[in-house]
Structure 1
Amino acid sequence: MRAFTYTRAADTSAALGAAIQNPEAKFIGGGTNLVDLMREEVERPNEVIDINRLPLSQIEELPDGGLRLGALARNSHTANHLLVRQRYPVLTQAILSAASPQLRNLATNAGNLLQRTRCYYFYDITAPCNKRQPGSGCAAIGGFNRIHAILGTSEQCIATHPSDMAVALAALDATVQVQSANGQHSIPIEAFHRLPGDTPEQDTNLGHDELITAIDLPATPFATSSLYLKVRDRPSFAFALVSVAAVLKVADSQIKNVRLALGGVAHKPWRAHAAEEILTGAQPTAEIFRRAAEAELQAAIGYEHNAFKIELAKRTIVRALTTLTERHLA
């Protein structure tokens, strides 16, 4: 790890001011990803700005019945908050499926959204990686790519986003609240993360001198019927090969509303719009679930070691929807 300056911000203005003055600085909350990257010299900030004193850890109801998750609220607190568990069980399930209790006790909500890919070659500073060094190439495309993306890839990058929480937030139509020197603005969660395109080094649409202050969940009564299904190599402390966040409303033997997001398959949480379009208004049957899954994965591209993910993703979608439908009928 290289030497760096440590700065403790007393308030939001001080944190933003320090970031504006130093383009090489990084904010640090829990540090569960940043510190690892610094140890491996993947990230090399000359200054870290500690934002833990900022009053951004509250979880509170919004006037419209939604819920605001403070950026610095710890993942464990968010997952176990009574209103989250009652109104948005998919989010609780997603967070609790990730990492370990010790890491969830330290990791923050904002940091979870900003964590970087776990691609082997991204972490290996001796390997070419366009995310780490633009223009150097993508070692994963011709290398061992079992954990890599099958949707939204480019010739520049096939990495996946590692967050479970962000997949659930995508299915819940969350909004990220952002503070900059110019004021506060909002970014819909689907527009927050980026596909690789020609600029895979840019994971999000958050500026260097911008700070996440909160994540807002809209009032969605049918979100009580939701599920996070994660397929991984081992039962705990493993990233998703494929995951599905599903929110489903069934009434009068018809799907009235559905939201699906996939994890482990793309550079960002993947909102399954094609599947949702087929499902909305249809009867909840195994046949329509499979048809929707086929439509969503139609554009998927498998590589040497991860082509199995295409069928796995289809089956995971079907299983998640089947499980939720059975709960409706129980």
Structure 2
Amino acid sequence: MGKAKANETTTGFSDIYERVTQRIIEQLEAGTRPWMQPWGACGSPVRPLRHNGVAYRGINTVLLWMTAAEHGYSSSYWMTFRQAQEIGGNVRKGEKGTLVVYANAIERKETDDEGEEVDRRIPFMKGYSVFNADQIDGLPERFHAKPAGTSAMMNERIEAADRFFAGLGADIREGGNRAFYHLGGDFIQMPPFQSFVSAEAHATTLGHECIHWTMNRTRLDRDLGREKWGDEGYAKEELVAELGAVFLAADLGLAIEPREDHAAYIASWLKVLKNDKRAVFQMAAHAERAVGFLHGLQTAAATDTDHETASAQSAA
């Protein structure tokens, strides 16, 4: 069997930003939101996984979801040519890899103009290719097993989602016919649960608003330059919230459908991406950071509960 092209390669910053951004622009220009594609109507998104089961994050999640949608891959697992070989697999001849990126920085000592030794942080980005398990022969069956999705009956509340959102400690109010985060008042407004078409629709809408909630200066202090409704900063924040809501849905096993009101943002997102080829990387990173922050609050809430339980037992 011939060797498929695509071992790990190092690619220049500019080339990586250009290639990834152009890919996303092409789909947006076609009216498609690429991060919404791999599961279809009422399906549950699943994080792309490395060969060892660790989930991809940030922009790599979007890149791999896009490729899965374009080629109809059903496996959640992705790996390099070498990793496939190490676990007994063989990438089929002629298969093309998918670009993923790795960003980090190295620290080194340098001498400044005054002869003082200073620490210098040098960022770098590495681009390399991975293959979906559907492109590889000979892999163990676990790489092709379908993930167990979760689904709720119409208007039947999802206990795990309710518990997650309650663990945030956010001021979530119910009433009216609009879902939004009020920055000045620092509260989330949600229509009544019964007004949503499904429990998942309620949970993913709330997830979207909770991503906005993290922008507050008392939390992640995220300021993307928004000055008024509809400007570039507004479009960036909406992209962060949309990506974050989908990432969170994947983590919680929630089915999700595109919110039609967000289709209107596509033109704004295109403008942002065409003006700055790094923007989608930055917005995906902000989204992942926001999701991580929400997960972190669950850990804090669980710890507080454990302490309260221990105190009560000691008192008894």
Q: TM-score, normalised to structure 2's length?
A: 0.26
Q: Which has the greater radius of gyration?
A: 2
Structure number with greater CO (CA < 8 Å, separation at least 6) is: 2
Higher helix fraction (1 or 2): 2
Q: TM-score, normalised to structure 1's length?
A: 0.26
Higher strand fraction (1 or 2): 1
